[in-house]
Structure formats: C-alpha cells, structure tokens
Structure 1
Amino acid sequence: MSTSITTAPLNNQQHIVWLDVVRFIAMFTVVCCHCTDPFNFYPEPLTDNIADIKLWGAIYGALLRPCVPLFVMITGALLLPVRGDASVFYKKRIFRVLWPFLIWSVVYNLFPWITGLFGLNPTIIQDFFPYAGEEVTRQSLAVSVDYIAQIPFNFSIVDVHMWYIYLLIGLYLYLPIFSAWVEKASEKAKLWFLAVWGVTLLLPYYNEFVAQYLWGTCSWNAFGMLYYFAGFNGYLLLGHYLRNLDWSIGKTLAIGIPMFAVGYAVTFAGFRYITALPEYTDEMLELFFTYCSLNVVMMTIPVFMLAKKANPRSETVRKALANLTVCGFGIYMIHYFFTGPSVVLMRNLNLPLGLQIPAASVVAFGVSWLIVWAVYRAFGKKAKYVMG
C-alpha cells in the first residue's frame, strides 16, 4: 500500500481524489477479504450449515480478489516514473514501511503467548487467526520467539497478511530500475509489455492442469522465457498506464461490466470446483484466487476505471478520503486483529449468513481506522514510526 498522498508528476504536489477513492475501495475490500477467512477456513468442529458458510465464503472471497492488485496499481500510478535519486527514494519509501512492519510482526507473533499469560482459552486464538494451527495453541513463548526469529525470511501463521509487505518492499527496490524504462518507453511499448504479461497470467493454470514445466523451466531452472515479464510488476505498469487512459462512463460500463462478470465467474466457479474435490493442496486451493491470474485482472481493471469517474463533492468525504491516505498503512497493520472477532460478533448476533461478512468488515475497518486516527491525533508525525 503506497503511503504517498501526492500524484504524478510528484513534484507538483497535486492531489487526485479518485486515487483516494481507489485506495478506499482497496483498503475496505482487503479487510472484507480477511473477514471471509473464518468462512473458508471454518475451524473444527463443523456445524450443520457448513455448506452455506462455505458458499458465502466463496461468493465474497471471489468478489474481493481485486483488493491487492488495486494497491499495487495505486503504487504504479503514483510513483512511476520515479523522480530523483534512487537512494533517496529507498530511504523514504522502504524505511517508512519497515519499522511498522517489524513492530507489528512482533506483536502478532507474541499474541498467542500473551493470551496464555491472561489465562485465556487457547481456542480464542482461532477466533482471531483462522489459519492458526495446533502449535500456537500451546501459548508458548518459545513458539512466539521462533516465529519472530523467522521475520527476516517470511511471515508466520498468525500474521499472514504481512506477506504483502515483503512484496511491497521488493516492488520498492525494483521501482527505480523499472522506472528508467517506463520513462522512456512509448505507449506502444508499454502495451506490448502488458500483452506479454497477460500471457504469463495464464501460467498458473498451465502448470496445474497441463505440465509443471514450460519455456525452459525444469528441475534446475525456475526462470522461464517470460519470467521477467511476470508477477506484480505488471500491475505497477497497468496502474501507470490506466491512470492516463480516459474512458467515458458509457464505455467504462460497456466494457467493464462484462469483463468483471467473466472474471468473477471464472474465479468463483474455479474455487468451488477445487473445494469440491476430495483432496486438494494449499496451492490448488489458491489457484483461482491467485492475484496474478487473468481472471483477477479482468475483475480489477473495471473497478480501477470506474473509480476514476468518482468525484465526491462533499468536503467531508474528501477530507475523510485524504485522512485514509495517511491512516491506510496503519489500518493494514492492525486490522487483522479485528476481522476474526468481528465475524464472531456477527455470528453471535445471528445476522443472516449473507450479511455477516460485510457487516463484520464495517466493524473491523471502522475500529482499525479509529485506532490509527487516534494514534496520529495523539502523537502527530511521530506516529508514522508505528503506523507507517
């Protein structure tokens, strides 16, 4: 999630409201996406309505896939091409996200142990973190310390949302290098790159359903012919390119609605197909939810283009969106503490299943935003070291 609030050209310090709207959509949908985890990964023992729970988890889980791609596209739209010296860029961007990432990663990993100190039942951990396995239920300091020691290498089972920060830092490292080409490339060259990237979006399905290796990949080589066009760098360029592409509202709807519908149909049907299999791996479970897949791109482009048409006239709304730009990274850091409990709350309130995920999302998002806003209100600019 880009923490920048300015727009390109960055040195103009202009503020584009529709990018704030995209950020709001991305931020709320990522919270909503994590509220689907207690549905798609319902803990034992199962209930009589588990089929309905899984169905609604799939309905919303598929619908919300554009959340992370939108964040990357915002970064590309704001920061490409990179201005100024690369070392200044790295210092400003990477360290802004690094310290909050480290602080909150430690807090999340200590949480199971802290629940033990308070004498809480170990089952409460699964209310917070649906992915949590048996190891964290030991509420052991040794387990928490082991997870913390692994932070330089990867996220743990209790802070799974931190996977994005590793990606974000990697994108920041890559941006000045990629920017040198973007700045000089013609529109035709950019489209050519995006077209090749589009081919790579089909590779997850080729690898799963056809063959493991393609275009030079083999047991001793993971870097195939189109490897350097693959991944989230395509979303960076897509955000940069679409920012300057102007469609009428009619064209946006005429192209966007069918595109989104097809993308959603593939995502939902594919996920349901996998989960209906007698056995499936974690990789198979995530196959149709993969962010770098053609079906997810088809859902993401219409959302981005439609958000470009947003122009809220209310000054209150504009100020709130601008505040979200400041608080957004902090919300991402802390929201995972509230998604699981918010779903539990909705279940206890006996809300209809179809409303539980959006209602829980509103609570988790609102509480997270309020906390981050209060921290900034209390500590001013110093809050950035904890909240980003």
Structure 2
Amino acid sequence: MKEQKHIVWLDVIRLLAILMVIGVHCIDPFYISPAMRGIPEYTTWAAIYGSLFRPSVPLFTMMTGLLLLPVKQPLGTFYKKRIYRILFPCIIWSILYNLFPWFTGILGLDKSIIGDFFCYTQGSESQAFSDSLKDVTMIPFQFSFKENHMWYMYLLLGIYLYMPFFSAWIEKATAKDKRIYLGIWSVSLFLPYMIAYIAPIFGINYLYGEATWNAYGLFYYFAGFNGYLVLGHYLKQGPNWSLSQTIYISAALFALGYYVTYTGFSAAAADSTSTEMDMELFFTFCSPNVAIMTAAVFLLLQKVQVRSEFAIKMLSNITKCGFGIYIVHYFLVGPFFLWIGPSFLPIPLQVPAMAICIFLVAWGFTAFMYKVLGKKAIYIMG
C-alpha cells in the first residue's frame, strides 16, 4: 500500500486544535470554581474563550476523515492499528485519573486537593478506595468528572468502528453525492435549536418521529460527527480560492458562527433559570454555528505554507505526541490555574498563558516517554 504523503498544513491544524482543547478546559475553573463564579470578568472571559475554541473537537474529526477515508485496509487490520493504539492508553490513563483521589489519601494530603486538580469534583471529593474503584469499574460504560476530557475517546472509538463500513460508500460516491450528504447533515445541525425553540411553540416534546419509544428520528441517520468526517474528506483539496478570497470568506463564516455561539451562551449564562442543557445548547459541537466556525478555520489553515525545516520537524513531533498531550493535559489544568489564576496577569491573558504552559509541559512529558520507552510508548501515550 502506498504511504500517504505527509501534509504539513494538517499538522498546523492539529496544533491549533490541541491548543483549543486545552484552552476550553482552562476556562472550566472560571465558572465552576465558587471563588471565581462571583467575579463577572471571569465569567465574561469564560464565554469569550469558550465560544472561540468550539471548533477544537470538530477539527480533530475532520482530520480523521481527511486522513482515513476511504479506508484501504482490511477490517481486522484497520481495527488493530487504530483501536488498539488508543484503547490501551485510554484504559491506563482513565484508571490513573480515577485512582488519583485514593493516592492523595495514601500520601496524607487533604481531600481538597482533588477539587484543586479537578474542579468538577469540588464539594464531592472522596479519598475512599471504594469510591475510586467504583469509578474504575465504570470505565467500560462512561467517563467520570475526574477525566472529563475522556468523553472524546468513546466517540473516537465509535468513529473507528464505523469508518470501514461507511468507507464503502465514500469510495463509490461522487462529489455531488457527498455534497448532498453534507446538505442533509447540515439540516440535522439545526435540530438542537428546533427542539429547544420550535417544538415548544406547538406544545410538543419531540420532532420528526422521535417519541418516548423511539430516539431515532428522520435525520438521525445523517446526524452527528460522521458529517465532520465527510466534510474533512470532501475538503481535502480545498476550493480553488485565492488567499484573499479564503481569508474574507473564512473570516465572515467564523464571525457569524462566533456571534451566534457567544451571544447564545452568554444569554443562557445570564439567566439564573438556565439548566445545564440550556448552557450547553449553543456550545453543541454538532450545530450550524460551530460547524461554520470549524469549516472556516480548516479552509484558512489549508493555505498555510511552512518552509522552515525546523518548524516542520517540530510540527511533526507534535503530531506524534498529540494523543499523549490530549490524554495527560487534564491533570495539569487545576495546578496551573492555582498558579496563574491568582497571579499579576490580567484575566484576559490567563487562559492563553495557562494553555501554552500546559501544552508545553504535556508535550515535554509525552516526548520524554517516547524517548525513554521508544515504540512501546504507544501503549501508554498513544
């Protein structure tokens, strides 16, 4: 099988996506920590950065579609190469995250340190081995708030399971077929808003055939992250636009998507009656506003040209370490917030400073593991 040519601009997208993911998690303490929730500037900047970084996960999915569709390997070979590589690191690190509270108890540390590391656990910290073991036994079914970012691993495993079957259609489909698919997928992106705002007008709770006994409505089969897979595959070559055209169109798309995301989330955050579902509505990854922001970033960064051999080498190493960076970075969010949050830095600069520091430490740790363990590091760092 012919080896795929290395795509440097895709490394640039991956770097930005990693920084965005870390940035998203850096704002968690801004509105979850009781001490910060009462400071309006923190909640304002949480909304600004949280909206800005929404393309993070969709960008990863688009890159997966670009690189792996259509699948050229036999089913067993594909599963062994893709699923095994992430399954073992996922299990290992999920166990470590969930055993961390127990370890703090063994070391004689106050249980408040758990909340310092993982802000979602504040008020419910426990150092009991039984509680940690319970969370570990839940790993085959669901992530815990101590490893909040691991939700994406379940999604990624599902995508890998699905791709070889979906690939058969991708391989035979024409460009027009793929555009039609993306068009129907685009309609499905409006469903969260239709359910939230249109359905109540008519006094109904479900749309398009969904009911208490059926969660699979009309657009279900075109909905979800598989649309980003197709979009990444479809945009591999990119439209034949000049750099100036790409900048103008991408800027317009991103600005529109950002406006909807920011204003919607801010309105929900300002409403004391908003539920968690209300707060997350405009942050939904599979929504039209996030989709156009993601497409805008993808199209723009396709035009990036990197000529420095050193930069290309560094980007390639970041790509190699990317999975490990993602897995370990959540351990660092709490400690860096405790260090940078009370610092002299203005609040608007705290998230970028935290994100960069966390990225560098996580990258350094992952690269070190690869250097020490060699190829065996893939079973721990991915």
- What is the TM-score with the length of structure 2 in the denominator? 0.96
For residues 344 and 116 of structure 2, what CA distance do their matches in structure 1 show? 17
2:37 paired with 1:17: no
Partner of 1:245: 238
Residue by residue over 1:270-311, the C-alpha shift from the partner in whole angstroms, topping out at 9 and shown as x without a partner, is 001111112222211111000000000111111101111111
For residues 36 and 380 of structure 2, what CA distance do their matches in structure 1 show? 38
Query: What is the one-letter code of the residue matched to 1:20?
Result: D
Partner of 2:144: 156
**Are residues 46 and 338 of structure 1, via their aligned partners in 2, closer, same or farther at CA, if it must alter by over 3 Å?**
closer
Partner of 2:219: 226
Alignment partner of 1:280: what SS? coil
Partner of 2:313: 319
1:69 to 51, 58, 65: 58
1:205 to 193, 196, 218: 193
Query: What is the one-letter code of the residue matched to 2:160?
Result: Y
1:167-182 correspondence to structure 2 within 5 Å: 167-182=155-170
Give how far 1:249 is off. 1.1
Q: Are the aligned partners of 1:40 and 1:54 in contact in 2 as well (CA < 8 Å)?
A: yes
Partner of 1:5: none
**Are residues 63 and 141 of structure 1, via their aligned partners in 2, closer, same or farther at CA, if it must alter by over 3 Å?**
same
Alignment partner of 1:231: what SS? coil
- Please provide the CA RMSD for this pair: 1.2
Query: What is the one-letter code of the residue matched to 1:100?
Result: P
Give how far 1:133 is off. 4.3
For residues 251 and 219 of structure 1, what CA distance do their matches in structure 2 show? 48
2:34 paired with 1:44: yes
Partner of 2:184: 196
Q: Are the aligned partners of 1:40 and 1:58 in contact in 2 as well (CA < 8 Å)?
A: no
For residues 316 and 27 of structure 2, what CA distance do their matches in structure 1 show? 27
1:26 to 17, 20, 23: 17
Alignment partner of 1:256: what SS? helix
1:89 to 71, 74, 78: 78
Q: Are the aligned partners of 1:128 and 1:340 in contact in 2 as well (CA < 8 Å)?
A: yes
For residues 191 and 127 of structure 1, what CA distance do their matches in structure 2 show? 47
Partner of 1:214: 207
2:375 to 358, 378, 381: 381
Partner of 2:202: none
Query: What is the one-letter code of the residue matched to 1:24?
Result: L
Give how far 1:45 is off. 4.2
Q: Are the aligned partners of 2:65 and 2:231 in contact in 1 as well (CA < 8 Å)?
A: yes
For residues 45 and 23 of structure 1, what CA distance do their matches in structure 2 show? 34
In the alignment, structure 1 segments of 5+ residues that lack a partner are: 1-9
Partner of 2:93: 104
Q: Which 10-residue stretch deviates more, 189-198 or 246-255?
A: 246-255
Partner of 2:129: 141
Give how far 1:47 is off. 6.8
Alignment partner of 2:146: what SS? coil
Q: Are the aligned partners of 2:29 and 2:36 in contact in 1 as well (CA < 8 Å)?
A: no
Q: Are the aligned partners of 1:36 and 1:60 in contact in 2 as well (CA < 8 Å)?
A: yes
**Are residues 47 and 239 of structure 1, via their aligned partners in 2, closer, same or farther at CA, if it must alter by over 3 Å?**
closer
Q: Are the aligned partners of 1:231 and 1:292 in contact in 2 as well (CA < 8 Å)?
A: yes
Partner of 1:4: none
In the alignment, structure 2 segments of 5+ residues that lack a partner are: 200-204
For residues 358 and 236 of structure 1, what CA distance do their matches in structure 2 show? 29
Would you say how many aligned residue pairs link Structure 1 and Structure 2?
376
Q: Are the aligned partners of 2:30 and 2:37 in contact in 1 as well (CA < 8 Å)?
A: no
For residues 121 and 251 of structure 1, what CA distance do their matches in structure 2 show? 57
For residues 48 and 112 of structure 2, what CA distance do their matches in structure 1 show? 27
Partner of 2:290: 296
Give how far 1:123 is off. 2.0
State, as a whole percentage, how many aligned pairs show the same letter.
50
Shift >3 Å, 4+ stretches? 45-48
For residues 220 and 294 of structure 1, what CA distance do their matches in structure 2 show? 28
Give how far 1:127 is off. 2.0
For residues 36 and 342 of structure 2, what CA distance do their matches in structure 1 show? 16
Give how far 1:324 is off. 1.0
